[in-house]
Amino acid sequence: MMRAPERAFLVGLGRAGGGALMFAVPMLMTNEMWALGFSIHPMRLALLLVLTPILLFTLAHYIGFRESPRLVDHLADALVAIAVAAFGAALFLFLFGLIGAGVAPGEAIGMVGLQVVPASMGAMLSRSQFGQESDREKSRRLSRPHYLGELFIMAVGALFLSLGIAPTQEVMDISRTMTAAHELALIAASLLIMHAFVYFVEFRGRVPVVPGTSLRELFARFTVVGYAVVAMVSLFMLWTFGRLDGLGPGEIVNAVIVLSFPGAIGAAAARLVL
């Protein structure tokens, strides 16, 4: 017989694995993500991998999966999520026949490393997504993140949704077909969608209304600043995946606007979901 804490830990691992898979499976099965495994600049992937545990740690800190006052527990959570993500990604890439004989170690590390980013986020969030809704809601209400925390959560949402889209050729294709008028309209649409989400979070959602906040103030504080955060995340993603190499400034702006559209949805939804 297993003792209760050990069984609880195994159940936790299983949930983390399920969450990792759910979040990473669209990217696990995308050609561009495998191709990036060997075409990505190693230093940029290393930077992304160094940022991942910091991101997970901060996420644990703000969302509070467990109300441990000790920061080392959040660190443990982050590293467990990474372990689960790496094993899961390697297993399924192997099952797909993508890593094995004839594949250089660098290529395999690149492919697994890229998948670790979304999968570890999934592993981390699975606890909050797959149960204890009321509990989490409560803890979030109790420890309402300050403004920087809110912006961080938006950045995580943007990162998550744009991660699978940034490496695709479609971002470049769309940014080439759009005219300046289209781009301005897309920025407006992104802002509108973000603001709709912000409105629902503040007035209808779980996060309590701060008395005296006007709609205009919300627009400035969350929607506009949030969009700027999303644009920075998009720029970083595109740069990491080498999509900006050899592009002129105008083309870079186009690509950032296009990728910021899914990013804006992710950022706005993250405040509602997390």
Partner 1 sequence: MTTPRKTTANRRKKAPAPDRAPGEAKERGTSTWEWAVAAVGGVILSGMVGYLVWDAIAGSAGGPPDITVAPAATIAAGDRYLVEIVVANRGQATGADVRVRGALTDGDQTLEESTVTFDFVPEQSTRRGGLYFAHDPQSARLSLRVEGYVEP
Residues 114-133 that bind partner 1 (CB under 8 A): 116, 123, 127, 131-132
Question: How many angstroms separate the CA atoms of 69 and 83, rounded?
Answer: 23
Virtual torsion, Cα 68, 57, 139, 199, nearest 10 deg: 170
Instruction: Pick the binder of partner 1 from 66, 144, 176, 204 (CB under 8 A).
Output: 66
In Å, how far are 62, 211, 259 from 82, measured between CA atoms?
Answer: 18, 40, 26
**Could you tell me the smallest distance in angstroms from the CB atom of residue 175 to partner 1?**
19
User: Which is nearer to partner 1, 135 or 173 (by Cβ)?
Assistant: 135
Size of the site for partner 1 (CB under 8 A): 58
The residue written with tokens 């697994």 in the block is 112
Instruction: Pick the binder of partner 1 from 27, 33, 59, 86 (CB under 8 A).
Output: 86
C-beta separation of 207 from 147 below 8 A: no
The verdict on 59 binding partner 1 (CB under 8 A) reads no
Residue (of 156, 165, 153, 152) closest to 256 by Cα position: 165
Helix, strand counts (H, E) of the chain: 12, 0
**Could you tell me the smallest distance in angstroms from the CB atom of residue 25 to partner 1?**
19
Contact residues for partner 1, defined by CB under 8 A: 4-6, 8-9, 11-13, 15-16, 35, 38-39, 41-43, 45-46, 49-50, 52-53, 66-68, 70, 72-73, 75-84, 86, 102-107, 109-110, 112-113, 116, 123, 127, 131-132, 134-135, 138, 142
